[in-house]
Structure 1
Amino acid sequence: MGDMISVDHVTKRYGAFTALDDVSFEARPGRVTGFLGPNGAGKTTAMRVVAGLTPATTGRATVLGRPYATLPNPGRHVGLLLDASAQHAGRTGREVLTLGAILTGVDRRRVDDTLELVGLTSKEANRRIRNYSLGMRQRLGIAHALLADPEVLVLDEPANGLDPAGIRWMRSLLRGFAERGGTVLLSSHLLGEIERIADDIVVIGGGRIVASGTTAELLAGSGTVVRSTDDARLARALADRAVAVTKVEAGGLLADTDPATVGQAALHAGVALLELRGGDERGLEEMFFELTASSAREGAMA
């Protein structure tokens, strides 16, 4: 089936400013891909390139195997939420969705189904968008993205303005979409939000991809921290098993393997363990904190 969204060596320059610097990543069917980065890291620019709204300076982005702009009736295949606040303030929610249905050639009965799906009441649907709260606008934006029952969703900061119940609702909605074989790419500047929903994570900072992998891989951290009654002896036992070991400043060892292997080595060496735990389990959090700290200092551009 291949990658539903593929970004291949995309660079985007605005004059002297490089918004995206040789960015490559993919989003696959049946999975939620979280696009994580501080504000101004290039997330929105990358998503606009995917959606054919911003031309790449070099490189290319494809959806369903071709550039978005060349898809026949792209709204049928790809649901976009790129700026929930950009909806026409004078129209009602129902009018916006009805117009979307007409433009994509979707049966207008989908409008009511979709309103129900995103939890907007008929009373709310008949109000003008200028009177919507941010959360209601966000639900309408998600409804618009889902209207034509697409295979791919591209959502920029979809949890923005939603209350905790709304965020939980959105997570289960997107999880269900992926479980039915859909492809979801969603961005956020909040690590906690992404790690709860994403199967795969792509981390961007300063216009470059700084890490990517499955959520489990990126959150797993590295190695095992261990303290024992005889660390020198345990270190030799681990070395015999070809496990790299470094001494920890505060006492104990960091072994480049899983806790079970360390426990086996200790048993074999006849050493009693005083402490045994997975190493730096918050590797992603640390990295993300460094990213946000540097971009916060530089007052980065979007």
Structure 2
Amino acid sequence: MGRMIEVKNLTRTYGDHTAVDDVTFSCKPGRVTGFLGPNGAGKTTTMRIMVGLSSASSGEVTIGGYDYHDIPNPGHHVGVLLDAGAQHSGRTGREILTIGARTMRLPASRVDEMLEMVSLTETESRRKLRNYSLGMKQRLGIAHALLGDPEVLILDEPANGLDPAGIRWMRDLLRGYAGRGGTVLLSSHLLNEVELVADEMVLIGRGRIVAQGDKLSLASLDTTESTLVTALDSEALVRGIEASGWSLAPEGDGFRVAAAPADVSRAAIEHRIVLTDLRSGAAGLEDMFLELTSTAQREGAAAPESLASISSAKGSHR
């Protein structure tokens, strides 16, 4: 197993509208890459170009070094789920998988294996697609993507319609798949769905990449140091913190201090202040995601070239 997805300077325009704007990123074997951004940010367009359903205005996408159209019997190499409802609504789930298996010259037993893998019962498999819930359609779509035992999975919003147990099941499935050397690209507009499974994340807003990297490098974009703190004696806390040279402002039941938690703790000890809560006030990954993508959606900000440049750009927005 192991094929890399490489997106290089990809642009797609529709008249005066630029849906994807000079996008560059890669997805590595053995890793789950989360492709994150608000609805309308360009995720689906990028993924459609990857699998040959739309053409690029400029730039290119390769999978294992090949254009998707040049991969022989692509279902054996690339599993795709872009729209769980994009099948004939009058066919049963079993019929849909059987047609896919025949197209890929797979044994009929593969259909039963996939139905069992995605927990669709025999009764459910014989229902027509029009009678499937959204969650069942997603499970069937994932089964179809995995039919050919591909090396690469490209999944657009696969958690839509899944209940909490289904989301956990999908997370475990994708982790196991990447653990065996597969390459996974997983899109979502909800960071908390992807954060637990993704090794790498690519954030897109208004068709442009606004940040990319692992969770640690993305979290490091927040260069501001602050602490949220409460104390038994709020007036003593204010006096002690100000005497130590730090500024603070009311927030919630306590204060936000422009200092690291360790500095605030030392000041409290020095001034004999009993703290009832002390935590980092740095923005979490979700805050970072919302700020970066919403800024791009509002302003059409130019795509930064590196994490460092994002950090400096972020500072200029504050």
Question: TM-score under structure 1 normalisation?
Answer: 0.82
Deviations 1:132-180 (A, max 9, x none): 1111111100000011111110000001111111111111111111111
**C-alpha displacement of 1:5:** 0.7
In structure 2, the partner of 1:280 is 282
Q: Counterparts of 1:108 and 1:25 in 2: how far apart (Å)?
A: 37
Q: Counterparts of 2:106 and 2:2 in 1: how far apart (Å)?
A: 27
Structure 2: state its 5+ residue gaps: 230-236, 250-255, 301-318
Greater displacement, 103-112 / 199-208: 103-112
Q: Secondary structure at the match of 1:196?
A: coil
Contact 1:218 1:284 in 2 (8 A): no
Deviations 1:26-78 (A, max 9, x none): 11111111111110000000011111211111100011111111111111000
Q: Counterparts of 1:185 and 1:122 in 2: how far apart (Å)?
A: 30
Matches within 5 A, 1:192-207: 192-207=192-207
Change (3 A) 1:293 1:123: farther
Q: Counterparts of 1:63 and 1:78 in 2: how far apart (Å)?
A: 8
Q: Which amino acid aligns with 2:42?
A: G
Q: Counterparts of 1:133 and 1:59 in 2: how far apart (Å)?
A: 38
**C-alpha displacement of 1:273:** 9.6
Q: Counterparts of 1:273 and 1:207 in 2: how far apart (Å)?
A: 53
Greater displacement, 141-150 / 63-72: 63-72
Q: Counterparts of 1:77 and 1:2 in 2: how far apart (Å)?
A: 10
Contact 2:210 2:293 in 1 (8 A): no
Change (3 A) 1:273 1:114: farther
Q: Counterparts of 1:210 and 1:297 in 2: how far apart (Å)?
A: 12
Q: Counterparts of 1:52 and 1:224 in 2: how far apart (Å)?
A: 45
Q: Secondary structure at the match of 1:127?
A: coil
In structure 1, the partner of 2:47 is 47
Contact 1:8 1:25 in 2 (8 A): yes
Contact 1:22 1:208 in 2 (8 A): yes
Q: Counterparts of 2:190 and 2:126 in 1: how far apart (Å)?
A: 33
Matches within 5 A, 1:91-170: 91-170=91-170
Deviations 1:56-114 (A, max 9, x none): 11100011111111111111000000111111111111111111111112222111000
Deviations 1:218-245 (A, max 9, x none): 2354464369957787x8xxxxxxxxxx
Matches within 5 A, 1:1-302: 4-219=4-219, 221-222=222-223, 224-225=225-226, 248-250=247-249, 252-254=257-259, 277-289=279-291, 291-292=293-294, 295=297
Q: Counterparts of 1:272 and 1:175 in 2: how far apart (Å)?
A: 49
Q: Counterparts of 2:285 and 2:34 in 1: how far apart (Å)?
A: 17
Contact 1:231 1:252 in 2 (8 A): no
Q: Secondary structure at the match of 1:176?
A: helix
Greater displacement, 18-27 / 281-290: 281-290
Q: Counterparts of 2:242 and 2:2 in 1: how far apart (Å)?
A: 48
**C-alpha displacement of 1:252:** 4.2
CA RMSD of aligned residues (A): 3.0
Change (3 A) 1:140 1:297: farther
Aligned residue pairs: how many? 279
The runs of at least 4 consecutive aligned structure 1 residues that moved more than 4 Å come to: 226-233, 270-277, 292-298
Contact 1:35 1:201 in 2 (8 A): yes
**C-alpha displacement of 1:294:** 7.6
Change (3 A) 1:178 1:18: same
Q: Counterparts of 2:176 and 2:210 in 1: how far apart (Å)?
A: 29
**C-alpha displacement of 1:288:** 1.4
Q: Secondary structure at the match of 1:138?
A: helix
Greater displacement, 139-148 / 278-287: 278-287
Structure 1: state its 5+ residue gaps: 236-246
**C-alpha displacement of 1:291:** 3.2
Q: Counterparts of 1:146 and 1:253 in 2: how far apart (Å)?
A: 50
Q: Secondary structure at the match of 1:98?
A: helix
Change (3 A) 1:232 1:66: farther
Contact 1:222 1:279 in 2 (8 A): no
Q: Secondary structure at the match of 2:195?
A: helix
